[in-house]
Chain A
Amino acid sequence: MADVALPRAKPQMIEDSAWTRLKHNRNWLGFWFMVPAMAFLIFFLAYPLGLGIWLSFTDTRIGRVGQFVGTENYEWLWDDSIFWLSVFNTLLYTTVASAIKFAVGLYLALLLNENMPFKAMLRAMVLIPFIVPTVLSALAFWWIFDSQFSIISWSLKHLGLINQNINFLGDTTWARICVIFANIWRGVPFVAITLLAGLQTVSPSLYEAATLDGATRWQNFRFITYPLLTPIIAVVMTFSVLFTFTDFQLIWAMTRGGPVNATHLMATLSYQRAIIAGQLGEGAAISSAMIPFLLAAIMVSWFGLQRRKWQQGENND
Chain B
Amino acid sequence: MTDLPASKVDLKSVLATPARVDNSEGMSYLQSVPRRLVTLYLPLTIIVVVLLFPFYWMALTSVKPDDQLLDLDKFNPFWTWNPTFKHFHKLLFESYYPHWLWNTMYVAICATMLSIIASVLAAYAIVRLRYKGANLVGGLIFLAYLVPPSILFIPLATVVFQYGLFDSPLALILTYPTILIPFSTWLLMGYFKTIPFELEECALIDGASRWQILVKIVLPLAIPGLISAFIFCFTLCWNEFIYALTFLQSTSNKTVPVAIVNEFVDGDIYRWGSLMAGALAGSLPLVILYAFFVEHYVSAMTGAVKE
CB within 8 A of B44: which of A35, A111, A197?
A: A111
CB within 8 A of A134: which of B10, B144, B239?
A: B239
Which residues of B have CB within 8 Å of A290? 148, 150-151
Contact B261 A30 (CB under 8 A): no
Q: A246-B150, A317-B9 are in contact. Are A204 and B283 (CB under 8 A)?
A: no
Q: How many residue pairs at the A-B interface have CB separations less than 8 Å?
A: 320
Q: A27-B132, A113-B24 are in contact. Are A135 and B257 (CB under 8 A)?
A: yes
Contact B129 A29 (CB under 8 A): yes
CB within 8 A of B24: which of A38, A115, A130?
A: A115
B207 smallest CB distance to A (angstroms) = 11
Which residues of B have CB within 8 Å of A36? 114, 117-118, 121-122
B250 smallest CB distance to A (angstroms) = 16
Of B22, B51, B77, B132, the most chain A CB neighbours within 10 A belong to B51
Instruction: Report A101-138 CB contacts with B as 1/0, cut-off 8 Å.
Output: 00010011001111110010011111111111111110
A90 smallest CB distance to B (angstroms) = 11
Kindly state the separation between the CA atoms of A193 and B47 in the bound complex, as whole angstroms. 14
Of B153, B182, B257, B276, the most chain A CB neighbours within 10 A belong to B153
Closest to A135 in B: B257
Kindly state the separation between the CA atoms of A104 and B13 in the bound complex, as whole angstroms. 25
Kindly state the separation between the CA atoms of A247 and B241 in the bound complex, as whole angstroms. 11
Which residues of A have CB within 8 Å of B235? 131
Classify chain A's interface size: 35 or more
Contact B17 A139 (CB under 8 A): no
Looking at chain B's contact residues, is the secondary structure mostly helix, strand, loop, or mixed? helix
Kindly state the separation between the CA atoms of A259 and B178 in the bound complex, as whole angstroms. 34
Interface, chain A (partner B; CB < 8 A): 1-5, 23, 26-27, 29-31, 33-41, 43-49, 51-52, 55, 60, 104, 107-108, 111-116, 119, 122-137, 139-141, 143-144, 146, 149, 151, 154, 185, 188-190, 193-194, 197-201, 204, 207-208, 211, 231-232, 234-235, 242-243, 245-249, 252-253, 267, 270-271, 274-275, 280, 283-284, 287-288, 290-291, 294, 298, 302, 305-306, 309, 316-317
Interface, chain B (partner A; CB < 8 A): 7, 9-11, 13-15, 17-20, 22-28, 40-41, 43-44, 47-48, 50-52, 54-55, 57-58, 61, 69-70, 72, 77-78, 114-115, 117-119, 121-122, 124-125, 129-134, 136-137, 141, 144, 146-159, 174-175, 177-178, 181-182, 185, 209-210, 235, 238-239, 241-242, 245-246, 256-258, 260-261, 272, 275-276, 279-280, 282-283, 286-287, 290-291, 294, 297-298, 301-302, 304
Q: List 5 A-B contacts (CB under 8 A).
A: A26-B130, A37-B181, A46-B144, A137-B54, A208-B27
Q: 6 smallest A-B Cβ distances: which pairs?
A: A30-B131, A33-B125, A3-B133, A246-B148, A267-B150, A37-B122
